[in-house]
Amino acid sequence: MIVTPEDGTFTPRFEDIERAVTSSTRAIIVNSPNNPSGAVYPPELIEKIVGLCEKKGIVMICDDIYQKLTFDRNVAVPAYHFSKKDIENSPIIVVNGWQSFMA
């Protein structure tokens, strides 16, 4: 199920994400910084999603390919920052890539 913001922003509400989770949910995919909008989800939202995934045993797949490509001094805080589990037991999977920037 896709959770889309209803308030005209590009950031979903945690309550909508939580409501979309069922006993069949195996993973939540988070795309922040978001492409193509450039929206960076607030750290509080990422923290709540991490907590939900750890509590319910749901895998959190983080599409972090644009983590370093942010604007207006926004910082994309990695989901691992909020995990209460060690890295080997965390349900967080980060999808990233090799990035090269020329000076």
> How much is the pLDDT for 49?
96
Q: What is the pTM of this model?
A: 0.83
Note whether 68 and 36 are within 8 A (CB).
no
> Tens digits of per-residue pLDDT, 22-46?
999 999 999 888 877 778 899 999 9
> How much is the pLDDT for 102?
59
Q: What are phi and psi for residue 54, nearest 5 degrees?
A: -65, -40
**Residue whose entry in the numeric block shows the structure tokens 């989770």:** 21
> How much is the pLDDT for 38?
77
> How much is the pLDDT for 42?
93
Per the structure block, which two tokens stand in for 92? 């967080």
Q: Is the dihedral of CA 81, 18, 89, 95 positive or negative?
A: negative
Average pLDDT score over residue span 3-22: 90
What ranges make up the beta strands (E) of the chain?
A: 27-31, 59-63, 92-95
> How much is the pLDDT for 77?
83
β-bridge mates for residue 94, sequence order: 62
- Cα distance between residue 50 and residue 41, in whole Å: 13
Residue 60: is its pLDDT beyond 70?
yes
Per the structure block, which two tokens stand in for 79? 């989901």
Average pLDDT, rounded, for the chain: 85
> How much is the pLDDT for 30?
93
